[in-house]
Amino acid sequence: MLKFLMKMTVLMMIFSWSVSVGAAGPEAMAEGVSAESTSSVVSVEGAAGSAEEKNPEKKLTVEAIVNKANLMAYYQGDNGKAQVNMIINDYEEKIEDGKKKIVTKNTRTREFNILRGDIEDGGDQNYFVYFIKPADVRKMVFMVHKHADIDKDDDRWLYLPSLDLVKRIAAGDKRTSFVGSDFLYEDVSGRSLQEDKHELIETTDEFYVVKNTPKTSQSVEFSYYNVRIDKKNFMPMKMEFYDSKGKLYRIIESLQVETVGKYPTVVKSKVTDLNKQSFTLMEFSKIEYNIDLADIFTERYLRKPPREAVR
């Protein structure tokens, strides 16, 4: 158990909620749920339509598009809360009757509550994650103070109830597994727009397709990633990551989007790691925005989580 818990020190999530909380994998976008998330976008409260639809003469710059998508995915409302059910699966591909079939195996689950508080739209944020299930992680708490300034590392703390230990997490592990899943820390809290060069490579009737190339390639394992952004509400719907050889190896998709209050919200997302042959589903429920949330994002609440986090 300790070995698993210590792995937590290199991750963070979650979520605005999960990229915008989205992700998909080798199998088709299955079932639906009703919940919320993030992510993985523009703080357009209940956006009714894209700027181009309202004014055909107005063409958005790529900078405007990615900014709106970032706000939609991670900054809906002033704050938010959700219950998250995470399902982690390994899979293998088999050929039956000449057709490729995906066979799922080794399923694990995690259940937790996540609370988010925004300090500034598009800027700093705080996250508080309280684990409910399984038993070996129950009452574990993970807290993050996210900083938008790329020159300032996020602050992270982990409370291990079995040891009654509060551990300060070292910075620099943004692209590591979140609680043993296929989601990464950056998928949950978001990647700074300043870290990439953005290029609008395609515009369809439904989507903007933006290519994002890291300015510092040594800090990440991908060479670039493409994001498909819904033109009506700027929600990131699909992200595809390519390695140094130009091979697709990782996919994140928003499987289900619902309107919670007035906010378009990802309620089911999926990440697939094509190299590891694994995928993780995240389903959001009991989603709330603009709640009466006290300043719970302090170390004093790690050992004694507030009512808002436990319920």
Residue 148's alpha-carbon distances to 72, 242, 292, 309, 310, in angstroms, are 16, 25, 24, 24, 28
SS3 103: strand
Q: Which domain holds residue 207?
A: 2-310
What is the C-alpha separation between 214 and 209, in angstroms, rounded? 16
Residue pLDDT, tens place only, 139-152: 999 998 988 888 88
Mean pLDDT, residues 263-272: 96
pLDDT of residue 58: 66
Write out the H or E segment, with its range, that includes residue 168.
Answer: strand 165-169
pLDDT of residue 105: 86
What CATH number has the domain bearing residue 43? Answer: 2.50.20.10
Number of domains the chain is built from:
1
Q: 43 — phi, psi (to 5°)? A: -70, 40
Asked if the model's pLDDT at residue 176 lies above 60, the reply is yes
Closest to 274 (Cα-Cα) out of 176, 159, 182, 203: 182
Where does the pLDDT of residue 177 fall: very low under 50, low under 70, confident under 90, or very high at 90 and above? confident
Full-model pTM: 0.78
Lowest mean pLDDT among 76-85, 181-190, 204-213, 296-305: 181-190
129 neighbors 14 (Cβ within 8 angstroms): yes
pLDDT of residue 94: 82
Lowest mean pLDDT among 15-19, 130-134, 231-235, 279-283: 15-19
